[in-house]
Structures are given as C-alpha cells and as structure tokens.
Amino acid sequence: MVASDPILLRAEDVACRRGGRTVFTGVSLTVRPGAALLVTGPNGVGKSSLLKLLAGTLRAEAGTIQRPERVAYLGHDNALKPMLTVSENLLFWAGLAAPSRAEAEERLRAAVRAVGILPLWDVPARLLSSGQKRRTALARVLASGAQLWLLDEPTVGLDVASVERLGPVFAEHRAQGGMIVATSHTPLPLETVETLMLGAAAQGARP
C-alpha cells in the first residue's frame, strides 16, 4: 500500500478474506479529486469490508491500495462516548486532526451548523436520538479536514430533512477537491456519482 499522500484513491485487483472465507476478489477502482463513488450490491457481498480496506483498518488479502494521506471513515458505529457531550465527543476527534484547539473548535462549529446539531452542543450523547447521533458522527467527518470520506450507510436513522442537508455538504467537499466513497441502501444527495457493484455483476467503477 502506498501512503505517500497521493491525490487520488486507487485500488487494483483487491481481494478480501474474512472469517476463513473469501468475500470478494479482483476489485479495482479509481476515484479522483472531486469525484464520488457509490458501492452497491446485495447484503453480504463485502461493501463494508471494502470501505475498511480503503480506510486501512482492514488488510487486503491481495492487490494494492493507494489513498490520500488524510482519510475520514464513518462506519455503522457512531463511535460516541455516551457520558460525554456532543462538543466533548467532537473536540476529542477534531483535536487529533487540527493543529490547535482553536482551529478544532472553528471546524466543529461549522460542521455542527452544516448538519443542524448546534443546539445539541452541550447535550450528553446518551440523550441523543439515533438520528442525532448519526448527525454528530457526520459532523466528525466534516471537521476532520480529510480529503477522502468513506461513508458506510451515512443516512441510517436520518429523516428526509437531515438527508437533504447533506447535499450541499457533499457538493462543497467535492468542489474543494474532496472525494467520497459511500455505501447506501437509500438514495444519497450526490450528483454525478459513479457506481461500483459488488457481487455476481462485473466489479469495476462505472458512470
């Protein structure tokens, strides 16, 4: 795997093996700055596993992956500590990415406004609804400063208005050279998105 700050995401002939079985083989994709890729396919074909491979949290059985230096990954788990407030949860993660607390707070204020959770700034995570927790997790991605966003079912638990809020967020990220790879069983507010189908169909990114 290459970690030399490439300007694009590329996977070539990647294979994944988990729990003693081969999940998929021969997956190749390229995502350039400003582009978005939607990974589709039936349950169990390895969509979530592919995102973990791209994020570097799971090792590929075969093939190569080239990714930007800074990657933000959102899995099914929102990764929130229930006793901490929204701001405390987010400041912890933002502090790992931003050079200073002031910049971390600035990024987070913009992120929570974008996803509509600013009124929840001082609310403990344990009191949030499932949709509010998901929006908090999305705010963490927005505030990360990462070029590549890997989003596994990002709209789970969100109402229609919350999903619509993501349209301008996604568009702005891509306009600044960002990249998005997502899985979803429901339509996402992404324009000009390519599709990668896992499973019996041919595996390769297509418009």
* Per-residue pLDDT tens digits for 48-77: 999 999 999 999 999 999 999 899 999 999
Quickly count: other Cβ atoms within 10 Å of residue 70's Cβ.
12
- Token pair in block for residue 204: 């390769």
Instruction: Tell me the pLDDT tens digit for each residue of 115-172.
Output: 999 999 999 999 999 999 999 999 999 988 899 999 999 999 999 999 999 999 999 9
Is 193 found in the same domain as 161? no
Domain that includes residue 100, residue range:
77-147+156-182
User: Residue 84 has which token pair?
Assistant: 């901490």
Q: How far apart, in whole angstroms, are the C-alpha atoms of residue 100 and residue 102?
A: 5
Q: Tell which residue, 29, 57, 22, 40, has the closest CA to residue 190.
A: 40
**Do 45 and 85 have their domain in common?**
no
pTM of structure: 0.89
Is 80 exposed, middle or buried, given 0-12, 13-18 or 19+ CB atoms closer than 10 A? buried
Regarding whether 55 and 7 lie in a shared domain, the answer is yes
The rounded radius of gyration (Å) of the Cα atoms in the chain is 17
Q: For the chain, what is the domain count?
A: 2
pLDDT in tens, 31-46: 999 999 999 999 889 9
CATH number of the domain bearing residue 54:
3.40.50.300
Same domain membership, residue 170 and residue 92: yes
